[in-house]
Amino acid sequence: MAVKTARKIGPVVLLGPPGAGKGTQAKRIVEHYGIPQISTGDLLRDHVRRGTPLGLEAKSIMARGELVPDELMYGIVADRLHEPDCRNGYVLDGFPRTAAQAGWLDAFLEQEIFENSEKCPPVVIQLLVDYTQLLQRLTGRRSCPTCGRLYNVHSQPPRFDELCDLDGSKLVIRNDDRQEVISERLSAYENMTKPVAEYYRAKGRLVPANADRTPEEITAELFGVIDGHAAVHAASEMAKPE
């Protein structure tokens, strides 16, 4: 898959429940366009590890069993978005999770002018999957405790029932993939992120994508959406008076 690095893509936000394929598609977008994937979880751990002022503050908050407040996360995210590798765009992983965070991101992108880079609003894609299909994907997952290989008894089963193809180990179901846990995860996702989708829908910027298809079909659609978004933005920038 050819990498494109010369074009301004802008921020990419993927919304979708657990099992929708966000991780797979984010990786393909990163490889195709040569832009970084920015995980708020990874950023937080990095700041804590390096002992930065933001990291030390976050560490003390987490040590008390409290959630890291938005204001602190905004500083961590802003710090990362100023890095040179974000100039042509980036995929946001785990952010924004709330409508307030989405509003902050819009304000940040509107106010910030990066060196050698014009402003570009995020392209927001919502991966839509039928609830029954999601349950099948998640409850069907099995993993090998020895080599870590993943299977799905519905879509990617092992050659022999419940046994790893590579080493013959008995496959296991992770706790996160048990139906009662999955139902809680999907409910929590719905309650938390529905306002984010509504925020972008109200602004006319939410692009729905059917994720009940093969990963390749989904990827082709996402690339088309991103390319179209980038082309429209480039045209609007060229039309502005100097």
| Residues tagged active-site | 22, 97, 141, 174, 185
Residue 120 burial (CB < 10 Å; 0-12/13-18/19+)? buried
Residue 109 burial (CB < 10 Å; 0-12/13-18/19+)? middle
Find the DSSP H helices in 112-160: 131-139
Question: Any long-range contacts for 231-239 (C-beta under 8 Å, 24+ apart)?
Answer: 233/8, 233/10, 233/120, 233/121, 234/7, 234/8, 237/118
Total residue length of the chain: 242
The tokens for 80 are 């990362």
Residue 143 carries which side chain, given as an amino acid letter?
S
Which has the closest alpha carbon to 196: 14, 10, 7, 3? 14
Which has the closest alpha carbon to 128: 189, 177, 182, 81? 189
Count CA atoms closer than 13 A to 129's CA, side-chain side: 25
Q: Count Cβ neighbours within 10 Å for each residue of 32-68 and write b for 16 or more, e otherwise.
A: bbbbebbbbeebbeebbeeeeebbebbeeeeeeeeeb
